[in-house]
Amino acid sequence: MVTFLPARPGPLADVPSFDRAIGGAESNVACTLARAGHRARWVSRVGADGFGDHLVRTIAAYGVDISAVERDPERPTGIYFRTDGERATGAADPAAHPSGLSEVLYYRAGSAASAMSPATVPPQAVHAGQVLHLTGITAALSADCLALLRALTSARTPAGSGAGPGPLVSFDVNYRVGLWRTPTAPRAGAEVLRELARHSDIVFVGEDEAAAVWGVTGGPEAVREVLREPAVLVVKQGAAGATAFVGDGPAVFAPALSVDVVSPVGAGDAFAAGFLSGTLRGLPVCERLRHGHLMAAAALTDAGDLAEPPAREVADRLVALDDESWGRLRLGPGWTARGAQAAAAGRPDNPGEEECLS
C-alpha cells in the first residue's frame, strides 16, 4: 500500500497535510531482508496508477526483485492513513484514538492487492526461494486472497512440479482490528488465522494478539499449547522480549533491548525479518531472536515503516555480547549509522559465548 503519514501530531481529523510513504507487512520484510544482504522477491498486485509506480520503484530501490509484481488496469493501488502509536489488538475502536493507540483508516476494498488469488499468482514465483513469508493481513483482504493463502500453506510442494521440497512457510499472524470489523469477521478471523498458523512452518504472534484473537492468556507456553503444529513458534512479548519454541524443545527467551522509541510502526515486520535472516544463515535460535530485536530496534528508532538495518558485521558483533552487556545497550535514533561505536561501547574485551534463558 501507499501510506500517508501526518505532517504533525494529532488526530486525523485535525491534520492538514500528509507525507507519502510505503507500507505493507510483506514488502517491509522483503525490503529489510534485501538491505540485510539476502535475495528477496516481492509477489503482489498494484494498480496501473501513479501510486503503483511509486510502490514498485521504491521497493525495487531497496534491492527487492519486483519481477513477479503484476499491474492491474482495473483496480487501484491500496492506500491507508495512520497516526503514530501502537496498533489496536483488542476491541478498542481506533476512531476513538485512545492514548497510545494509532488511528488507522484503510482504503483497500476493491484494491489491486485484494484481487490476488491462486489463479493470479504463478506457483514458480512463490516456490523458488528458501522461505515464503505470508501474513494474516492478506487473508483479510478478500475471499480470493484467503484462498491463495490456504493454497500456499496447505501444500508445501506444488503437485507435479518436480521441484522437491518447497520453501519453509513463514506466517506472521498480524491481527488487524480494522480489517476484521464486520459483525461476523472477528470470529471468522480467529478461525482463519489459527488455521493458517497451524499449516505453517514458522509462526510469529504477539502475546497480546494471541489474547485478542484467540483468548489465549498465560504466557508463551499457553500460546504453544494451542499452536503445537508449527516447527518454530515465536511469541513476541513487547518490551520484555520474545520466546521461541522449536519442535518439542524447551522455550528459548531473549530479552528485548532498551530503545528510545520514535514510532512503533513496522517493528513487528522488522523483527520477523531479523529472525528470518538468522534462519537463512543457520544461526542458533537465540541468535535469531537477538537479530530480530536489533532489526526491531532499527524500526522503533525511525519515523517510517521501514528503517535502515544495522550492517551485518555490526549486528553480529552485538548479538555476540554476553547477557550483561546486551542488557546494558540502549539504542536511540540514528544508532544504525553509529553501530560500530554502539557495539564497542557495550562489548566486553573478551566476550564469551552469549547465553539465552531457556
For the segment 46-59, what is each residue's pLDDT rounded down to a tens digit?
999 999 999 999 99
Q: Of the candidates 339, 281, 283, 278, which has an alpha carbon nearest to the alpha carbon of residue 308? A: 339
pLDDT (0 to 100) of residue 108: 87
How many other C-beta atoms can be found within 10 angstroms of the C-beta atom of residue 183?
6
Cα four-point dihedral sign 305, 306, 307, 311: positive
Q: Which three cell numbers stand for residue 207?
A: 502475546
Tens of pLDDT along 226-265? 999 999 999 999 999 999 999 999 999 999 999 999 888 8
How many other C-beta atoms can be found within 10 angstroms of the C-beta atom of residue 80?
16
pLDDT (0 to 100) of residue 303: 77
pLDDT (0 to 100) of residue 262: 87
pLDDT (0 to 100) of residue 104: 83
pLDDT (0 to 100) of residue 320: 96
The amino acid occupying position 209 is E
Residues of the chain below pLDDT 50: 91-99, 157-163, 183-184, 186, 340, 342-355, 358
Which listed residue (72, 172, 201, 269) is catalytic?
A: 269
Q: Of the candidates 128, 126, 130, 124, which has an alpha carbon nearest to the alpha carbon of residue 138? A: 126
pTM: 0.89
pLDDT (0 to 100) of residue 187: 63
Q: Of the candidates 175, 174, 225, 167, which has an alpha carbon nearest to the alpha carbon of residue 201? A: 167
pLDDT (0 to 100) of residue 106: 86
pLDDT (0 to 100) of residue 202: 98
Tell me, yes or no, if 316 is annotated catalytic.
Answer: no
